[in-house]
């Protein structure tokens, strides 16, 4: 039963976020929505910086710790991330205002609201294997805020207020979770000084770099397309949002695989990784095909009848979802399990360089097909580097064990 909530969390958040999209399109028109989407993409990159890599390293830090140690880690993490938010939030707001037409307020508010996700407690719930409480304390407030934001946008036409409501839901989830964590430890815990919290930022650098490059690669295409081919931005921004919601909904595949591959003796890692990988890829191929078949209808509905895509774009959009999740699997379930976090950063940088390098010429050459083709190429390069590094690592480990024997 617990595993159901792993899937419910992203599904409920994803569906409520999708409900908000047509509401914003109706209230702000397609062009206004495109600018908001650019702001959200910039804010998503900011959220990765604010998270300071705890989404990757945090679960392992609390998985086997005592209640006191878990709470101490959470408090240190929250304070460090609040410091990061104080710096990053104004920056993403300014960038969003500059990169969107007219320096409108809505994209800046969207950027800050999305950036606040980096303060969230999801990593703690993953590490403590408690998706049910994650759902109640964090997912429900955020989903309710999304629905309320949609009502504000459609009923009152207040786009900025709707985006602020969405951000408020994120903060409510953080507050409820933090209060519950503190109440779970009798007597509470001594909260770290701000200086001590700031010193936790440095050791997180490798995972911050890896996460930042991944998110930059996910966020940059919308901003770049908005500059080089603005006519494509509304449709691509909607596809980009669908990709992100699908990736979020499929994240339990990676989370469950992380646990499966890491659990047990080191000698069994290759076998468990192969088994988990085959299951994941089989599921993703089916899901990608279904998504591609339904994508044109979804774009028409979510675009309030004002946007459309071709079958070729729909197919490539399905491929994007598959390679995005496979890339997360290769990083988190494979390389992170064997301690190769520096390789994750290097592969992400290489893949992003390839994809972004191809983005502008392929956009000019093929429109949305070119955009998606460039994105896919970058992910394929990253997956190839990750897979090769994992194979070398486990083979080297096996050889050392044979020599020792």
Q: How confident is the model at residue 163, as a pLDDT?
A: 94
Angle at 85 between CA 81 and CA 86, to 5 degrees: 120
DSSP E strand boundaries for 18-115: none
CB atoms within 10 A of CB 403: 7
| Segment 116-149, tens digit of pLDDT | 999 999 888 887 878 889 999 999 999 999 999 9
The token duo for 62 is 């609390």
**Sequential DSSP letters for 125-160:** HHHTT-HHHHIIIIIHHHHHHHHHHHHHHHHH--HH
Give me the numbers of helices (H) and strands (E) for the chain, helices first please. Answer: 16, 0
Cβ contact 344:336 at 8 Å: yes
| Segment 232-268, tens digit of pLDDT | 988 898 899 899 888 888 888 887 787 678 766 778 8
Buried b (16+ CB within 10 A) or exposed e, 207-223: bbbbbbbbbbbbbbbbb
Give the position of tokens 């050889």: 399
Nearest residue to 218 via CA among 109, 321, 362, 88: 321
The token duo for 326 is 């496979």
Give the list of residues 6+ apart from residue 294 with CB closer than 8 angstroms, or none. none
Cβ contact 363:225 at 8 Å: yes
| pLDDT < 70 positions in the chain | 1-2, 60, 64, 101-103, 187-190, 259, 263-264, 397-405
Q: How confident is the model at residue 324, as a pLDDT?
A: 93
Nearest residue to 42 via CA among 100, 83, 81: 100
The reported pTM is 0.72
Q: How confident is the model at residue 101, as a pLDDT?
A: 67
Q: How confident is the model at residue 187, as a pLDDT?
A: 67
Nearest residue to 196 via CA among 83, 73, 76, 86: 76
């Amino acid at each position: 039963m617990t595993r159901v909530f792993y899937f419910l969390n992203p599904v409920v958040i994803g569906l409520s976020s999708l409900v908000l999209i047509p509401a914003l399109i109706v209230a702000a028109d397609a062009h206004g929505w495109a600018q908001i989407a650019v702001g959200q993409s910039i804010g998503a990159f900011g959220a990765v910086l604010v998270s300071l890599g705890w989404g990757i390293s945090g679960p392992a830090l609390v998985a086997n710790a005592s209640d006191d140690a878990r709470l101490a880690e959470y408090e240190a993490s929250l304070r460090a991330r609040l410091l990061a938010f104080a710096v990053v939030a104004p920056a993403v707001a300014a960038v969003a205002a500059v990169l969107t037409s007219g320096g409108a307020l809505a994209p800046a508010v969207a950027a800050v609201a999305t950036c606040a996700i980096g303060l969230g407690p999801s990593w703690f719930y993953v590490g403590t294997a408690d998706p049910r409480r994650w759902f109640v304390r964090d997912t429900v407030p955020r989903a309710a805020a999304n629905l309320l934001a949609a009502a504000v946008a459609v009923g009152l036409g207040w786009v900025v207020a709707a985006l602020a409501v969405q951000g408020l839901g994120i903060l409510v989830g953080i507050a409820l979770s933090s209060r519950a964590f503190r109440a779970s430890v009798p007597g509470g815990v001594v909260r770290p000084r701000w200086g001590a919290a700031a010193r936790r930022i440095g050791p997180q650098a490798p995972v911050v770099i890896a996460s930042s490059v991944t998110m930059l690669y996910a966020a940059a295409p919308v901003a770049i397309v908005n500059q080089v081919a603005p006519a494509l931005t509304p449709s691509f921004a909607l596809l980009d949002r669908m990709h992100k919601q699908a990736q979020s909904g499929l994240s339990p595949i990676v989370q469950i695989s992380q646990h499966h591959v890491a659990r047990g003796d080191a000698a069994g890692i290759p076998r468990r990784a192969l088994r988990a990988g085959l299951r994941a890829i089989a599921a993703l191929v089916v899901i990608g095909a279904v998504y591609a078949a339904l994508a044109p209808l979804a774009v028409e509905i979510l675009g309030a009848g004002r946007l459309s895509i071709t079958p070729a774009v729909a197919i490539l959009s399905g491929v994007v979802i598959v390679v995005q999740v496979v890339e997360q699997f290769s990083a988190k379930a494979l390389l992170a399990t064997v301690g190769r976090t520096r390789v994750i950063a290097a592969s992400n940088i290489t893949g992003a360089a390839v994809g972004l390098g191809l983005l502008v010429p392929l956009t000019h050459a093929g429109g949305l097909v070119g955009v998606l083709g460039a994105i896919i190429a970058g992910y394929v390069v990253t997956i190839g580097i990750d897979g090769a590094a994992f194979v070398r690592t486990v083979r080297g480990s096996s050889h050392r064990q044979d020599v020792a024997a």
